[in-house]
Structure 1
């Protein structure tokens, strides 16, 4: 499942870095912390590697 915004992609990247031990889990806040706790490394990879060219900065609410 691809990311739907650049903000979501960045949060997934931070959570993925924490899963891999590249940053401390305590450094995560908000969405990245929730993603770290609820998603697998494979799911986070899919979100983080989404091409950001056509993504909005933030997801719009409907």
Structure 2
């Protein structure tokens, strides 16, 4: 059985943990957002380089070999 001060300590720990977890979730969400931004930017840059003739389009080459 939990009594008095122990219950208060557990409640305080729970509240702190909840606040920290919310902070962690926020950070993970931001990291996820920026990761997808970077992936989109990389796709855009790759597409632009292919269009400029600086880079070979490997995906279309693979499709023609397979297809």
Give the TM-score category using the shorter length.
0.3 to 0.5
More helix by share: 2
Q: Tell me the TM-score normalized by structure 2.
A: 0.32
Q: What TM-score do you get using the length of structure 1 for normalisation?
A: 0.35
Higher relative contact order, chain-length normalized (CA < 8 Å, sep 6+): 1
Q: Which has the larger radius of gyration?
A: 2
